[in-house]
Chain A
Amino acid sequence: MTAITSGGGRRLVDTVLRARELSILAALVVLVVVTTAVNSSFLSDQGVKDIFLNASILALLAVGQTMVVITRNIDLSVGSVVGLVAFASGKFVLGHDRNVLLVLILGMAIGAVCGLVNGVLVSFFRVPALVVTLGTLYVIQGADYYWAHGQQINAADVPGSLLELGSGSVLGIPYLPLITVVVMLAVGHYLRSYPSGREFYAIGSNPDAARLAGLAIRRRILTAYTTSGILAGLAGVLWLARFGTVVADAAHGWELRVVAAVVVGGVAIVGGLGSVYGAALGALLLTTIGSVLVVLKVNSFWQDAIAGLLLLLAISVDRLLGLRVTRALRRRNVRHGA
């Protein structure tokens, strides 16, 4: 009846839990070192800056998606929200010199509404998250296309102050990664260190137990979706700021890229496990691979294939490690227990 004494078992568990972020980091380092060895221009200021700029939007979306996935749900509508917001804020600034802050707020407000709809449907009506967000993916995308009607926003029409957000920097650090890192740290700290943050993990880990424990399940799920929506809205504005030229299907198909980044980053698709840091690292890794292929002059067509392989590798290794831990714990149970 006595249980596992601390020691080997605990260390093993700890290692595996942390291993995920560390192993992605290691993969990143190896990737960068090897690529730099082959082509030293890879690690140039511009090269590094490009990678971070490119990864920022994906990482931002991955942070929001993580909150949702941790509660054992999923948000497939983010790609559509990015597209809608990018186009809407483009329309909004068209020919006017709008305040950047105002544009950001508008974008995040649109995202919040989309997220709220998802959240209400999932938490109050208990409709499977995949189905709801697949539905809103279509609806939002359709509304966006209908509105755009083939139009596109051109960089020339976008005010310089907004474009500055996409390409400018403070103290040599570009705004985009800065925003992403700040958001990531804030969300990560909240999820790890605040009682309500831990409830997201609890809900995803065992929804029935969460209900019996009297946790505010609806509110947390609503929060997760709204956050994901707001961050998708933010990403939409940043998309416009970075690319200037926006057509309605900006970020089309990104929902699955975001989920891929999150899963590569070690967030369990069945909820309860993972961190926003891992998810952001996952996004960085996926983006870096893209750049590496360019630098190594590998046909860029390989990028998707490699990203897919990486995802499969990540979840398989996770699973195998998990099985080993379970086996190790099982042995300990027998040795120490009755």
Chain B
Amino acid sequence: MAPDASVKTASAAAPVTATPRVGRLVRWDVIVTALLIVVFIGGALGTPDFATGDNLSFALDDLCEIALIALPMTLLVVVGEVDLSVASALGMSSALLGALWDAGWAIETIVPLLIVVGAVTGLVNGLLVTRLGLPSLAVTIGTLTLYRGLAYVVLGTKAVAEFPQNYADLATGTVPGTPIPYPFALFIVLAIITAVVLHATGAGRAMFAIGAQEEAAFFAGIRVKRIKLLLFVVSGVVSAFAGVIYTLRYGSARADNGLGLELAVIAAVLLGGVDFDGGRGTLGGVVAGVLLIGLLRNLLMLRDVATEIQSIVTGLLLIVSVLTPRIVAGVREARRHPRGSMSASSQ
């Protein structure tokens, strides 16, 4: 670092430089991938039912909504924003699907409509964040409540079931010859597209720049607001579509579908090594994080470990994923300077 840096940045950077942003040496996404492989091999060796086609396709199917929504969430976190309303948008989409199906609409009409509704939910988030400059955390806590409320307004506590079999098959069936369920195949395709966008295109470069230093990105002619708005819209669309998959998979449309799913999605993204402060992360890491959470849950279930333990494991993984890089950096720093330089500062 430049020792004569101007005070503002240096004061922030001096102890910080070596602390949270070690990235280069401790690549968390690599660690998560390694962990994923270890868990998979360990599971295959230690648990007989684990590495079967049926079980894996069940595990992947069970994971697909979280996985799908994690893609736009990754992009949002990279640009320094967050969308907590995704699970409510999913629930609202599910409730609408139920209500409209109940009213005799055709699925072919409902789904495009739900996509539009999803785009609108994202647009509301995006406009409040980009036009008014509100923090996305506050905005999406608001829309989280609003969209879930609207889901109840639409469907009440009813459950609508009996969707056409061919659509249910699409949600639960596998790609012929593989254990990969169709929704998860969709995830694979979208993940590849997202990875290319984020890591190989100008838009991706722009996103990282926005997350790392928004003002500098704006001064460089990047349309910051437009990109953020677009990402919120994509997040809404994907959530709405995930709502369709969720409904068909369980064969039940309910207003409380996917309740609390937003936290699982964020957990997967952060576990994948995306910096919550923006500007850092890889899509590969997120995919590994999503799969790790899914496989662990599945393994624990197969081994008859109580479902509650899964929640503890998820929570611990999350804490460890952000803690380890900082502790490693802190130790390294402490070795260099006898005085502990992990002086406190919030966030």
Q: Determine direct contact between A and B, CB below 8 Å.
A: yes
Q: List the interface of chain A (C-beta within 8 A of B).
A: 71-74, 121-132, 134-146, 149, 203-204, 207-208, 210-212, 217-218, 221, 253, 256-257, 259-260, 263, 269-271, 299, 301-309, 311-312, 315-316, 319-320
- Please report which residues of chain B, range 6-26, place their CB below 8 angstroms from some CB of chain A when the two chains form the complex: 8, 11-12, 19-20
CA distance A212 to B92 in the complex (A): 48
Chain B contact-residue range equals: 35 or more
Q: Nearest chain A CB to B18's CB is how many angstroms away?
A: 12
**4 additional contacts (CB under 8 A) given A130-B82, A142-B312:** A138-B316, A221-B344, A312-B142, A315-B138
CA distance A210 to B346 in the complex (A): 10
Residue pair B323, A127 in contact (C-beta under 8 Å): yes
Residues of A within 8 A of B346 (CB): 71-73, 122-123, 129, 203-204, 207, 217, 221, 271
Check if B319 is an interface residue, CB within 8 A of chain A. Answer: yes
Provide the main secondary structure of the chain B interface: helix
Give the residues in chain B near A143, CB-CB below 8 Å. 308, 312
Q: Is the CB of B133 within 8 A of A302?
A: no
Answer whether residue B196 sits at the interface, using C-beta atoms and an 8 A cutoff: no
User: Are the CB atoms of A263 and B141 closer together than 8 Å?
Assistant: yes
Contact between chains at A308 and B143 (CB < 8 Å): yes
Closest to A224 in B: B346
Minimum CB–CB distance for A279 against chain B, Å: 14
- Contact among B141, B156, B330 for A260, CB-based, below 8 A: B141
Q: Is B42 an interface residue (CB 8 A)?
A: no
Q: How far is the CB of A62 from chain B (nearest CB, A)?
A: 14
- Alpha-carbon distance A188/B344, docked complex (angstroms): 25
- Is the pair B323, A304 in contact by a Cβ cutoff of 8 Å? no
Given that A204-B346, A217-B345 are contacting pairs, would A301 and B156 also be in contact in the complex, using a CB cutoff of 8 Å?
Answer: yes
From residue B197, how far is it (CB to closest CB) to chain A in Å? 25
Given contacts A72-B347, A134-B263, A204-B346, contact A142 B12 (CB under 8 A): no
Which residues of A have CB within 8 Å of B276?
128, 130-131
B149 on interface, CB distance cutoff 8 Å: yes
Cβ of B76 < 8 Å from any Cβ of A? no
Give Cα A203 to B132, complex, Å. Answer: 25
Asked whether, in the complex, the Cβ of B345 is within 8 Å of the Cβ of A127, the reply is no
Min distance, Cβ B179 to any Cβ of chain A, angstroms: 29
B143 touches A307 (CB 8 A): no
* Centre residue among B142, B313, B322 by max chain A CB count within 10 A: B142
Partner of A308, one of B20, B144, B309, B343: B144
Q: Shortest distance in angstroms between A250's beta carbon and chain B's nearest beta carbon? A: 15
Whether B138 lies near A218 (C-beta < 8 A) is no
Contact A136 B142 (CB under 8 A): no
B150 proximal to A (CB < 8 A):
yes
Q: Across the interface, which residues of A come within 8 angstroms of B306, CB to CB? A: 145-146, 149
A residues near B20, Cβ cutoff 8 Å = 126
Partner of B315, one of A139, A263, A269: A139
Contact between chains at A311 and B315 (CB < 8 Å): no
Question: Taking CB as reference atom, which chain A residue is nearest B13?
Answer: A208
- Judge whether B322 and A128 touch: CB under 8 Å: yes
Most buried by A among B133, B308, B309: B308
CB distance from B186 to the nearest CB of A (A): 27
B270 adjacent to chain A (CB < 8 Å): yes
A65 to chain B, nearest CB (A): 12
Across the interface, do A208 and B330 meet the contact criterion of CB distance under 8 Å? no
B60 within 8 A of A: no
Please tell me if B283 contacts chain A, counting CB pairs below 8 Å: no
Docked-complex contact A304 and B145, CB < 8 angstroms: yes
Query: Quick one: given A134-B266, A207-B345, A315-B142, are A142 and B308 in contact (CB under 8 Å)?
Result: yes
In the assembled complex, the Cα of A134 lies from the Cα of B152 at a distance in Å of: 26
Tell me, rounded to whole Å, the shortest Cβ–Cβ distance linking B213 to chain A. 16
In the complex the two chains form, what is the Cα distance from A125 to B347 in whole Å? Answer: 10
Residue among A126, A253, A259, A304 making CB contact with B152, cutoff 8 Å:
A304
A304 and B146 contact, Cβ closer than 8 Å, known pairs A127-B319, A128-B322: yes
Are the CB atoms of A256 and B347 closer together than 8 Å? Answer: no
Is B228 an interface position by the 8 A CB rule?
Answer: no
A126 and B149 form a contact (CB under 8 A): no
Q: How far apart sit A296 and B266, CA to CA, in the bound complex (Å)? A: 38
Residue of B nearest to A127 (CB): B322
B contact residues around A127 at 8 Å (CB) = 319, 322-323, 326
CB distance from B162 to the nearest CB of A (A): 23
Select the residue from A143, A270, A308 with max chain B CB neighbours within 10 A.
Answer: A308
Of the candidates A141, A208, A253, A303, which one forms a contact with B345 in the assembled complex, judged by CB atoms under 8 Å apart? A208
By the criterion CB–CB under 8 Å, are B149 and A307 in contact?
yes
Kindly provide the distance from the CB of A61 to the nearest chain B CB, expressed in whole angstroms.
Answer: 15
Q: List 8 A-B contacts (CB under 8 A).
A: A72-B346, A122-B347, A131-B270, A144-B308, A208-B12, A269-B135, A306-B149, A308-B148
Determine how close the nearest CB of chain B comes to the CB of A189; give it in whole angstroms: 23
- Minimum Cβ distance to chain B for residue A28 (Å): 19
Pick from A126, A135, A204, A271: contact of B319, CB below 8 A: A135
**In the complex where A125-B330, A127-B323 touch, is A305 in contact with B146 (Cβ < 8 A)?**
yes
Is B259 interfacial (CB 8 A cutoff)? yes
* Contact of B145 (CB < 8 Å), options: A203, A217, A269, A307: A307
- Determine whether the beta carbon of A305 is less than 8 Å from that of B150: yes
Q: Are A125 and B342 touching (Cβ within 8 A)?
A: yes
| In the complex, residue of chain B having the shortest beta-carbon distance to the beta carbon of A305 | B149
Asked if A125 and B146 sit within 8 Å, CB to CB, the answer is no
B139 and A315: CB pair below 8 A?
A: yes
Cα distance, A61 to B156, chains bound together (Å): 29
Q: Contact string, B305-347, partner A, CB cutoff 8 A, digits 1/0?
A: 0111111111111110011001100100000000000111111
